[in-house]
Structure 1
Amino acid sequence: MSHKLLLVDDEERVLEFMEPFLLEEGYLTETAKTGSEALVKAKEMKPSLIILDWMLPGMSGLDVCRELRKMGPVGIIMVTARAEESDKIVGLEVGADDFITKPFSLRELAARIRSVLRRINGYEAATPIFHYRELSISEAECRVWKHGKEIALTPTEFKLLLTLSARPGIVYSRLQLLQAALADDILNDERTVDAHISRIRKKIEDDPAHPVFVQTVYGFGYRFGDRP
């Protein structure tokens, strides 16, 4: 299951900084600009994790955190410009799971999200998800998302995509794909792989004629992406 994140900040530019990146990471996101709006959306969407700004107009991030803790288990990462240890202690005491200090990088944010999710529900241990650009693949659940929206693949299509994505940049011949991804299927013609690849591209590529994910290496076979 793709995890739901609620992003709470009164600055539009901060939300615009975080949200596209997190969508590409495979998360489903909602945003809120005030504490009261955050509480309403948290009740409605039941997020796995909330990224919560400390300094909100009206109801502060600390007050929101206290109220969220009354609703049930949810991961909370406080975003703050405060670097003092005493402030962080206060935040942890009211229920925050982690802190990130402004300014921060998107890589650091992603790492802290994974860490909190792992601590609260064994997220990565149970359902590892591979991310490449805006595509996310869960081997455990046999599911694929693009921009956070699930894409329906047949079992054969999923096996092929999973095999290719396991080693980005590595070229597979049609025979190798038959053996690795379709070993249990009765397929005598290697060209059958081409038909499956064509259907996969129609589902996951913005422009199937110029694929970004499943690329043809003429004379050899196919590869996923363009970097080992």
Structure 2
Amino acid sequence: MPSRVLIVDDEPSILATMAPLLRSRGYEVSTAVSGKACLESVERVEPDLIILDLGLPDLDGVDVCRLLRDGRSTPIIVLSARGAEADKVSALDAGADDYVTKPFGTEELLARIRVALRRVESTPASTGPIVCGDLVIDRDRHTVSRGEEKIRLTPKEFDLLVLLAQHPGRVLTHRAILKAIWGPRAVDEPEHLRVLLGSLRKKIELDPSRPRYIVTEPWVGYRFADLG
């Protein structure tokens, strides 16, 4: 059964380009040109993925993203001409899974779509091992190994690794990570995260200066690599 994709954008040229492209790749495509139409379409179509523009005529896309996240886990890829760091962080903090800036390359967008859909299909259970390449994270036993090598992590390092690994391919903002690991009072203390992330990379990466597993999204956050 083809995956259902909802494109939400008020630019006719974007819809005229993207809808045929996705249909040619085997996706079932629906479109909406406003925030209200998006919310109505989600109830009617039940899409597997939403591609959302921020500059909608009736509602701000960030607000639409928050509304979509209310009780739903459908992947959301923001596609917007707003390329400022603050806009990216706002959208990701509101629940977007990814952010692509216009103008965009079609192959890049298609790759992001595949990653988002694959993540849904392979979402791990709340317990049990997470496998990424040769890295195995056993949440039941609180152990990590890379190939035959056992890696010893502190409790906080393990929590950070699990948090990132549970969302492969998705950007998690600095604030979201700080809140999850240290609580809401730590969201304005990014040095905690930099130190912990640096320590974790030294243990799990073969070359911490060229990380394979935990990728930095400059000024925004971190993305755990989807090596599936």
TM-score bucket (shorter structure):
0.5 to 0.7
| Cα separation, partners in 2 of 1:30 and 1:71, compared to 1, 3 Å | farther
1:46 is matched with 46
TM-score (norm 1): 0.52
1:7 correspondence with 2:7:
yes
In 2, the alpha carbon distance for the partners of 1:24 and 1:2 equals: 12
TM-score (norm 2): 0.52
- Partner of 1:70, secondary structure, is coil
Alignment of 1:172-211 (within 5 A): none
1:100 is matched with 100
In 2, the alpha carbon distance for the partners of 1:98 and 1:13 equals: 22
% identical equivalent positions: 46
Q: How many positions carry a matched residue from both structures? A: 123
In 2, the alpha carbon distance for the partners of 1:56 and 1:36 equals: 10
2:114 is matched with 114
1:19 is matched with 19
User: Residues 30-74 of structure 1: CA distance to partner in whole angstroms, max 9, x if unpaired?
Assistant: 000000000000011110100000100111111111111114110
1:202 is matched with none
Counterpart residue type for residue 82 of structure 2? R
71-80 or 26-35, which deviates more: 71-80
Counterpart residue type for residue 100 of structure 1? V
In 1, the alpha carbon distance for the partners of 2:86 and 2:61 equals: 16
In 2, the alpha carbon distance for the partners of 1:63 and 1:35 equals: 9
Counterpart residue type for residue 70 of structure 1? D
- Partner of 2:73, secondary structure, is coil
In 2, the alpha carbon distance for the partners of 1:13 and 1:39 equals: 22
In 1, the alpha carbon distance for the partners of 2:8 and 2:68 equals: 13
Counterpart residue type for residue 67 of structure 1? L
In 2, the alpha carbon distance for the partners of 1:10 and 1:59 equals: 12
Counterpart residue type for residue 62 of structure 2? L
In 1, the alpha carbon distance for the partners of 2:99 and 2:121 equals: 19
In 1, the alpha carbon distance for the partners of 2:120 and 2:88 equals: 19
In 2, the alpha carbon distance for the partners of 1:113 and 1:13 equals: 20
In 2, the alpha carbon distance for the partners of 1:90 and 1:65 equals: 10
Aligned-residue offset at 1:108: 1.2
In 2, the alpha carbon distance for the partners of 1:55 and 1:17 equals: 18
Alignment of 1:73-152 (within 5 A): 73-122=73-122
1:37 correspondence with 2:22:
no
2:60 is matched with 60
Give structure 1 stretches of 5+ with no counterpart. 124-228
Max Rg structure: 1
Counterpart residue type for residue 10 of structure 2? D
Aligned-residue offset at 1:121: 2.4
Counterpart residue type for residue 112 of structure 2? R
Moved over 6 A (4+): none
In 1, the alpha carbon distance for the partners of 2:71 and 2:110 equals: 25
In 2, the alpha carbon distance for the partners of 1:4 and 1:117 equals: 10
1:69 correspondence with 2:35:
no
